[in-house]
Structures are given as structure tokens and as C-alpha cells.
Amino acid sequence: MAHRRGWWRGFVLLAATAVALVAAPCDRAAEERDGDDGPAALTGLVVEVTDGDTVVVELADGSRERIRYIGIDTPESTPDQPLECFGDEAAEANRRLVEDRQVQLRLGPERRDDYGRLLAFVRVDGLLVNAELIRGGFARVLTIAPNDELASRFELLEAAAGRAGRGLWGACNT
């Protein structure tokens, strides 16, 4: 009886494919899982929504911190800045997502911006708010190293929102 050469290659390929499928994310929540349990994770209550990408959070120790969302930029809507197209809508979307809710904050490698705000990925009930604002067309991608680990994912969401004309992409001359 003749032995078939290379029969094991098919087996190895099949096993590698199975491992890849098991390890691949299968839903949006899994896709956006980004290590929130790391040493730079905090939780708190959102006590104020400043605009589309900034909130004030009361932390567990009772202190309050201004939080700037990593990786996104929303149109301006604060009184000290000129109102930009879709600024009010972005602030309202952020308010609907996080106001008076417990959030989980994962700080970036660069912890604070030039204004003293903590820089964070923000989750509420497992939903990555930064990504949700981009997905809905309420924010543009703003990538600033070293806080750039989700930049490629955010760029894909922005491209999809733009193609669909969602939010500011359909309402403003961008």
C-alpha cells in the first residue's frame, strides 16, 4: 500500500482555520473589547456632559475629573466656542449615552491633555462610547499618539458613517 505524502498539511490547515475562527470576534461587543481590566481602569458616575467628547465624572473616592474621550473629536457646542455644525446634536447624543450613568474609564498611555483632562476610552454597560459616537456620525476620528491603539477601528467606523451620510456627514459641509 502506497503512503500519501503531505496528508498532514490539510489537517494542519484545518486546525489553524478552526483556531482562527474560535479566536475571531463574533459581535460588536467582542470586537471592541480593549482591555478595560488593566491597571489604568477607573469607574465613576457621569455628573455633567460638557459637550460631545467631554464629561465630568465623580470617581469612587468622591473626586471629580474632567474626561476627554480618546480618538474622537466632536463639533464644538460649548458656550465659550463658536457653535459648529452638528455640535448640539453630538452633545445630545453623548448625553443620551452617558448622563447620570456609571461608566468605566480606561486611560490611555498619555493620561492627560494640555487642559488637564483625563484621556480615556469610555464604556457604559459594555458599549464603547467613543466608537458609538463615530458610528452614529456624531464624531470624527482624532488620532494622537501614543493614545492611538483603536485608530484603525475608529477609521473604519468613520468611513462607514460617511458613506451612509449619517450625522454630521449628511448635515454639514465636511
Catalytic residue among 76, 89, 132, 158: 76
Instruction: State yes or no: is 117 an active-site residue.
Output: yes
Instruction: Supply the pLDDT for residue 76.
Output: 87
State the total domains in the chain: 1
- For residue 138, tell me if it sits in a domain: yes
- For residue 19, tell me if it sits in a domain: no
| CATH number of domain containing 107 | 2.40.50.90
- For residue 125, tell me if it sits in a domain: yes
**44 grid coordinates:** 465613576
- For residue 9, tell me if it sits in a domain: no
**Tens-level pLDDT at each residue, the chain (174 residues):** 455 555 445 444 444 444 343 333 333 433 344 444 444 799 999 999 999 999 999 999 999 999 999 999 999 887 788 778 888 999 999 999 999 999 999 999 999 999 999 999 999 999 999 999 999 999 999 999 999 999 999 999 999 999 999 999 998 976
- For residue 161, tell me if it sits in a domain: yes
Catalytic residue among 32, 68, 123, 158: 68
Cα gap 101→57, rounded to integer Å: 10
Instruction: Supply the pLDDT for residue 84.
Output: 83
Instruction: State yes or no: is 31 an active-site residue.
Output: no
Domain that holds residue 120: 34-171
- For residue 5, tell me if it sits in a domain: no
Instruction: Supply the pLDDT for residue 77.
Output: 81
Catalytic residue among 32, 89, 117, 132: 117
Instruction: State yes or no: is 106 an active-site residue.
Output: no
Instruction: Supply the pLDDT for residue 5.
Output: 55
Q: In sequence order, which ranges of the chain are alpha helices (DSSP H)?
A: 7-23, 28-31, 87-98, 129-135, 151-164, 168-171
